[in-house]
Structures are given as structure tokens and as C-alpha cells.
Amino acid sequence: MRQRKWKKALFAIILLLNVVFFLNICRYDYKTIFNNQTEYYKNHFNIIVNEFKAKLDMSMSFIYGLEGFTYASLNYDLTQEQFEVFATRAQYHDNFIKNFSVAPDAVQLYVFPLEGNEVTLNHNLKTDARENVVRDVLTAMETGEMVISGPYELRQGGLGMVVRSPIYKDSLPWGLVNVVVDVQSMIEESNLYNCKELSLELQHKGEAFWGSVQEPNYEIVLSVGNETWIVKTHLPDQLTKENHLSFVKNAILLGVSITISITFLIYIIENNTTLSKKINYMIYHDSLTNLPNRRALSEKIDLWIREKKEFTLGFLDLDNFKEINDKLGHALGDELLKVIAERLTSHKSAEVYRFGGDEFILISELKIEAFEKLIVEIQSHLSNAVHLNEVIYHITSSVGICAYPHDAATKDELIQLADKTMYYVKSIGKNSYQIHQS
């Protein structure tokens, strides 16, 4: 009777410990998935904004080029023909410039293109009927600073901005150059307009002029001339449907694994201890590929950090594997993962771990240059044809590489940095690798 009570108590302790373990792992898994999701959307947002910023910078470069041309023309009498030769060549490189002019003493003597803008030729901007135009012109000429009007709805239609930059001669106001930028087309021809995953909003001086975001929680500030625009978005503050399903799946698998573990532990207590090694193997290895799992990786990195070892880490993700899984079924997808695992472990210079799904992590004490060569070999090996059920498959991968302690001071930072670098490879075309540039 006493022995039976002891077994029940031991069973209760084991059950309680496994429940605590289960909850902690679920919390860690949720946090990891959420952080990866947030990092993905941040990277996606940064890429979109940087692409738009490049278009803005090109138009601002055009404006500075027009300034330079005008200053060079102060030493001789500029003709309409000379202006049109410059204008035709200059505008060829920027499709977002609607029209521009050179205005000595604020009188628009040179206008391009003239067709459709005849009304502006010889127009004195100081006597313009629009108060804001006169105000901006006088401000530019008096302060010597560029003045940007807008973005706002142009009279010709569409969102645009007017940039007025003063020209000085012998320290005195000579006139100014005026450029109308088609902001609407610039947005529509960028991924700002086509972004489906995030809501976006462009602001100037605290006012939104394009897009709308409810409760923005992330932003990037853009320099536009001597002013700033702000691009805002709302990064998901909870797991998306796809990631939530992934978390639930992981939790179910973990729960099943714990249940199996408890069953085996009770069996060992009541029968023998010969299964302890098998259970230990299950805890630290992935049941599908037999690769060491995330738990094993975490402990190995912790050990190396305690031992103050310098090492390199590669975050490898298979390209388009979800499409293969959806098309061919998870059974065949699992067989494909087994083949990938065998190919990865055939390279003995690195330890390979299955991080989750179609993600793998490789760690090695190789220096970054040698590790880079190893990744090239591994990617070449992985891309070789795979024959399953008389069908040939070609698998490619994207890899992000970083080094400890050069790139990160902690385990989580190191893995997240490699993950971020890998997603950058995905964003520029996949089937390659990238070493983190600190």
C-alpha cells in the first residue's frame, strides 16, 4: 500500500512538472512566433518604404539638378531653346516630374513642358491669385530656403507637391525654380499602393495625405528636402490566423509529446530504466527527421556561450515548401523533409538542428569565411533533384548567417538576427544566402 501511494505521489509530481513544462514551452513558442511575425512585418514595411524613398530621392535630385543648371545659366543669357534641351534630357530620367519652370524675379519665363502649361508662361508668381502660392514664393526668396507646398490635390488632378527653390546672385534674390512632383503616380507605382498585408498612411505636418491606419504602432520618418514625411503602419499585435494555427499545432504536438513522455516515465518506474535513453532522445530530437530539436539547440548554444566559444550560426529555410506541402500533401512533404535532413547532416563541419516546420539551424566553430563556403556547398547539395514516388523535385533554400559574439550578445538575439537576415534573402529573390552586415 505504501509503495502504491509513493508511485501515485511520484506520478502526480511528474504530471505537475510536465504541465508546468508544457505551459512554459507554449509561452516561449508563442513569444518566438510572435517576435518572428513582428520582425517579418517590420522588414516588409522597411523594404516598401525604402523603395518609395528611392523614388522621392530621385525627384529631389532632379530639383537639385535644375538648381545647378539655373546657377550655371546666370553667367549668360539663357534661351528657351537651351532650356528645352536641358529639360528634355533631364525629365527623361524621372517620370514623376509633371512640369517645372525657371522664374527670374518670380516670373516664369522658362516652362517645360510648355504644351498644356501655356497659361503659366510669363506668369508672375508674386501676383498669383492664390495666397498660399504668393506666401511660399516670398518665403523662399526672403529666407533662401526651399519651400515645399503640399502634398495636396493639384488643380490638374491627382496628389502632388510643388517645390520652390530660391536662386541667389551676388547674395541677392535673383528668382526661383519651381517643380511640380506627381506624388500620386509615385505612390501608385510603388509597393505602398500594392501592399495587402499592412495598412499604410503618409503624413506631413501631422496631417494624413494618403492612406489610413487605425492605431498606428510603427513608423519611419522620411527626409524630403528640408521637411519630413512620416510613413505609419499598424504591425499586428496578436498572431495572424496562419501563425495562430502554427502555434496551436505546436502546442498539440507538444501536449502529445508530454503525454507520451509521462506514459514512458511511468512504464520505467514500474518496470525498468532501460528506456531512459530513448526518452532523452525523444526530448532532444525531432520525431520526423531525427535531427536535434529546438530544445537541444538552445542548450548547446547556452553551453558554448558559457564556454565563451566563438561560433557561426546559419538560419536555413526551404523556399516555397508550403506550396509543395499544400499541393502534394503532408505525407510526401514529410518524406521530402527527411531527405533534406539527410543531406544537411552529410556535411560534418556543422551541427544541424530542426528549428520548426521547414526551418533548420546550423552552428559551427568555423570562421565566417569557412562557414560561408560550407553554406554554398550545402545549398548546392540541397538543390540536387529529389526522387519520390517516381516524381522529381527541386528544392532551394535561403540562409541568413551571423556570428557570436561579433553580431549579437545573446542566444535569442543571435537567432532572431539570423532569421531576419534570412527573410531579407527571401525578399530579394530566394535561393541564396546573406551574411549579416553589422
Whether residues 234 and 329 share a domain: the answer is no
Beta pairing partners, 316: 360, 399
Domain final residue, candidates 201, 223, 238: 238
Whether residues 196 and 310 share a domain: the answer is no
**Residue 4 pLDDT more than 80?**
no
**Residue 271 pLDDT more than 70?**
no
Structure-model confidence comparison of residues 438 and 310, the more confident one: 310
Q: 157-174 in b/e burial notation, b at 16+ Cβ within 10 A? A: eebbbbbbbbbeeeeebb
The mean pLDDT of 127-140, rounded to a whole number, is: 90
How far apart (Å, rounded) are the C-alpha atoms in residues 265 and 12?
Answer: 12
Cβ neighbours for 110, distance < 8 A, ≥ 6 positions apart: 78, 80, 83, 101, 102, 103
298 in a structural domain: yes
Dihedral class, residue 182 (left if φ above 0, else alpha if ψ from -120 to 50, else beta): beta
262 in a structural domain: no
Query: Residue type for 291, please?
Result: L
Give the count of domains, the chain: 2
Burial of residue 290 (number of CB atoms within 10 Å: 0-12, 13-18, 19+): middle
Q: 62-77 in b/e burial notation, b at 16+ Cβ within 10 A? A: bbeebbebbeebeeee
89 in a structural domain: yes
Whether residues 17 and 105 share a domain: the answer is yes
Domain final residue, candidates 238, 254, 270: 238
Cβ neighbours for 399, distance < 8 A, ≥ 6 positions apart: 314, 315, 316, 317, 375, 379, 422, 425, 432, 433, 434
Cell 553667367 belongs to: 75
Residue 17, domain extent: 1-238
Residue 29's pLDDT band, with cuts at 50, 70 and 90, is confident
Q: In this predicted model, what pLDDT tens digit does every residue of 247-268 receive, in sequence order?
A: 677 778 777 777 777 777 666 6
Q: Which helix (H) or strand (E) holds 201?
A: strand 200-204
Whether residues 181 and 302 share a domain: the answer is no
The answer to whether 438 and 417 have CB atoms below 8 angstroms apart is: no
Cβ neighbours for 163, distance < 8 A, ≥ 6 positions apart: 60, 63, 146, 147, 148, 149, 178, 179, 181, 225
Domain final residue, candidates 216, 238, 260: 238
What pLDDT, on a 0 to 100 scale, did the predictor assign at position 114?
83
Whether residues 223 and 332 share a domain: the answer is no
The answer to whether 398 and 426 have CB atoms below 8 angstroms apart is: yes
The mean pLDDT of 309-314, rounded to a whole number, is: 96
362 in a structural domain: yes
Whether residues 100 and 175 share a domain: the answer is yes
Whether residues 209 and 309 share a domain: the answer is no
Whether residues 234 and 292 share a domain: the answer is no
**Residue 101 pLDDT more than 70?**
yes
What pLDDT, on a 0 to 100 scale, did the predictor assign at position 377?
95
Whether residues 40 and 165 share a domain: the answer is yes
265 in a structural domain: no
What pLDDT, on a 0 to 100 scale, did the predictor assign at position 1?
53
Residue 6's pLDDT band, with cuts at 50, 70 and 90, is low
Q: In this predicted model, what pLDDT tens digit does every residue of 387-405 receive, in sequence order?
A: 887 778 888 999 999 999 9
Mean per-residue pLDDT of the chain: 87
What pLDDT, on a 0 to 100 scale, did the predictor assign at position 365?
96
Whether residues 308 and 420 share a domain: the answer is yes
pTM value is 0.53
Q: Of 57-71, 321-335, 417-431, where does the model show the most confidence?
A: 417-431
Whether residues 165 and 22 share a domain: the answer is yes
- Domain of 186: which CATH number? 3.30.450.350
**Residue 132 pLDDT more than 90?**
no
What pLDDT, on a 0 to 100 scale, did the predictor assign at position 231?
94
**Residue 288 pLDDT more than 90?**
yes
What pLDDT, on a 0 to 100 scale, did the predictor assign at position 172?
92
3-state secondary structure of 86: helix
275 in a structural domain: no
**Residue 20 pLDDT more than 80?**
no
332 in a structural domain: yes
3-state secondary structure of 232: strand
83 in a structural domain: yes
- Domain of 426: which CATH number? 3.30.70.270
